[in-house]
Copies of this chain bind each other. A is one copy, B any other.
Amino acid sequence: MDDIRSSSISRRELLAMIGRTTSAAVMYQAMSSLGYAAESDFQGPVSLEGAPKGTSVLILGAGLAGMTAALELRKAGYKVQVLEYRERAGGRSWSLRGGDTYTELGGFTQHCDFEKGLYINPGPWRIPYHHRGLLHYCKLLGVKLEAFVEMNANAYLHNSKAFGGKPQRFRHVMSDFNGYVSELLAKATDQNKLDQAVAKDERDILLEALRSWGALDDKYAYTPATASAMRGYDKDPGGGPGGAPTPSTPISRADILNSGLWHHLSFPLTYEYAQTLFQPVGGMDMIAQGFAREVASLIQFNAKVTEIAQSDSGVTVTYVDARHGGEARRAKADWCVCTVPLSILSQIRNNFSSTLQAAINAVPYAPAIKAGLQFKRRFWEEDDAIYGGISFTDLPIGQISYPSTDYQKPGKGVILGAYMFGVSAVEFTSLSPSERLQRVLEYGAQLHPQMSREFDNGISVAWHRVPWTLGCYGMWKEDTRQQYYKDLCAIDGHTVLAGEHCSYVNAWQEGAILSSLSAIERLHQRVVAGR
């Protein structure tokens, strides 16, 4: 270890290099073999040493990408200024609470009437465990996290055209699907139909594995006797002389398959969504608040950028007051980190290279709507025994998500009553906010009849109508990614772009953070090299 420490490549540089080119797992192994893991002081994700004193950077946007850049660049000794369109920091990382007012493009104004302590996260709403960048900043900034329940076996899967429109418990669909898949494969294997694919010595262990995992009986059948331990009972095990459970009967294989509800089963098992996930205690904007505590003094709020003009020596940005226009002001700096969403940036006058302009114009933004609904009581807990998690439906609302916090708290509660995308989302915004809520409730009542009676108030955010993003996130496709992505990320003159659109982690805060770290690291290398 000693020789490593005294060598000319610093430990930090070594680790940063390993981290940049591999995975966290490989990094940890490297750190372990270097003897560093246990005593790691791996403080931050970038090392920006040697910045020439007085070098200025203008950051456009005080969302997470902008504030990450501000925090790290200032720490590295840069002179930092941030221009932000809104009156607050955080960008899409946003929470709505009682007392908040929100006016969307087109003029509809909504007032949020949630009770104190309740909120909805209309933008990002969960943080996967492998989003190490974001988790790093949460820890650094003292943002308290709680588990976000992604998979709830007792939530509903709903196909309005299957089972007479009656929602099915996730655990029933999951257990039965797994059971039938196991049964089909096990029986076929047992009947030697898989002999070409499965070697003799593998056969027995495969059968054992299928029986175990699929809850099959000793004839490899998925039946009530074995299934109930997975799917649940008609009568739960209880106490006293009458305590014996009554097995439940699996849904038929044909009904499971025809319902199409199986297509929801892999979602909570994907790398992106498998637990553990988190949410900040008290609302997603706790992250923005944490960042703002550190960098608010650098931010000019209510600044609407109208022009970005580069020269050989730096960047000049023209802006007006976002609330009432008026006199144009100018901010100048040696360098610029621009985190403005492309949907907006493509409308701001600039003299970027045509290559960069083409990339900026190549990425459409996703329409999406989220609706937060407050109810008089937590009926989903009291009546449906659903605590946290998500129900899925083919109805336009798409999803209903139950709060992963304040379980069993008396009084009111807020759920996510709709999460809509694409065409449905666009069509929905032709309705007034109150019409939207009415429609959302009608749909939701097909899963939860109590909704109508227990509804208190609600609010909807249509991202394609949010004035400062005009869309939820950048939608890359394979061909546009190939053609434009690297151009979008590359430093152009004195400007580098950052934001979730400059990442492969689109629509996640992690994308914003990682893109920003990449942008400022490359910018810093350029600065230090005197270019």
Quick check: B145 and A147 within 8 Å, CB to CB? Answer: no
Quick check: A151 and B154 within 8 Å, CB to CB? Answer: no
Shortest distance from the beta carbon of A221 to any chain B beta carbon, whole Å: 12
Quick check: A385 and B154 within 8 Å, CB to CB? Answer: no
* Other 17 A-B pairs with CB < 8 A, given A213-B263, A237-B503, A240-B502: A24-B236, A38-B450, A130-B154, A130-B236, A149-B275, A153-B275, A188-B194, A213-B266, A229-B271, A238-B514, A239-B498, A239-B514, A240-B515, A240-B519, A276-B388, A276-B389, A278-B387
Quick check: A241 and B21 within 8 Å, CB to CB? Answer: no
- Using CB atoms and an 8 Å cutoff, list the residues of chain A in contact with chain B: 20-26, 28, 31-32, 37-38, 40, 129-130, 132, 135, 138-139, 145-147, 149, 151-154, 169, 171, 174-175, 177-178, 181-182, 184-185, 187-189, 193-194, 197-198, 202, 205-206, 209-210, 212-215, 228-246, 253-254, 257-258, 260, 262-263, 265-266, 269-272, 274-276, 278, 379, 382-389, 404, 407-408, 410, 449-450, 453-454, 485-486, 489-490, 498, 502-505, 511, 513-519, 521-522
Quick check: B408 and A28 within 8 Å, CB to CB? Answer: no
Residue of B38, B171, B239 near A502 (CB, 8 A) is: B239
Residue of B184, B230, B276 near A197 (CB, 8 A) is: B184
Residues of chain B within 8 A (CB-CB) of A228 are 271
Q: Check A194/B197 contact, CB under 8 A, given A489-B241, A514-B240.
A: no
8 A–B pairs (Cβ distance < 8 Å), ordered by A = A23-B234, A32-B449, A139-B408, A205-B260, A209-B263, A239-B502, A241-B518, A243-B485
Residues of chain B within 8 A (CB-CB) of A202 are 253-254, 257
Quick check: B145 and A146 within 8 Å, CB to CB? Answer: no
Shortest distance from the beta carbon of A395 to any chain B beta carbon, whole Å: 20
5 closest A-B pairs by beta carbon, nearest first, are A240-B518, A239-B514, A239-B515, A237-B504, A153-B274
How many chain copies?
Answer: 2
Quick check: A129 and B182 within 8 Å, CB to CB? Answer: no
Q: Check A130/B385 contact, CB under 8 A, given A228-B271, A258-B205, A518-B240.
A: yes
**Complex Cα spacing A404 to B38, Å:** 22
**Complex Cα spacing A132 to B489, Å:** 53
User: Which interface residue of A139, A152, A154, A502 has the most chain B CB atoms within 10 A?
Assistant: A154
Residue of B21, B169, B239, B453 near A511 (CB, 8 A) is: B239
Quick check: A238 and B271 within 8 Å, CB to CB? Answer: no
Shortest distance from the beta carbon of A266 to any chain B beta carbon, whole Å: 5
**Complex Cα spacing A503 to B26, Å:** 48
Quick check: B257 and A209 within 8 Å, CB to CB? Answer: yes
**Complex Cα spacing A145 to B149, Å:** 13
Shortest distance from the beta carbon of A289 to any chain B beta carbon, whole Å: 17
Q: Check A21/B235 contact, CB under 8 A, given A194-B188, A209-B262.
A: yes
Shortest distance from the beta carbon of A377 to any chain B beta carbon, whole Å: 9
Quick check: B489 and A266 within 8 Å, CB to CB? Answer: no
Shortest distance from the beta carbon of A161 to any chain B beta carbon, whole Å: 14
Shortest distance from the beta carbon of A143 to any chain B beta carbon, whole Å: 9
Closest to A261 in B: B209
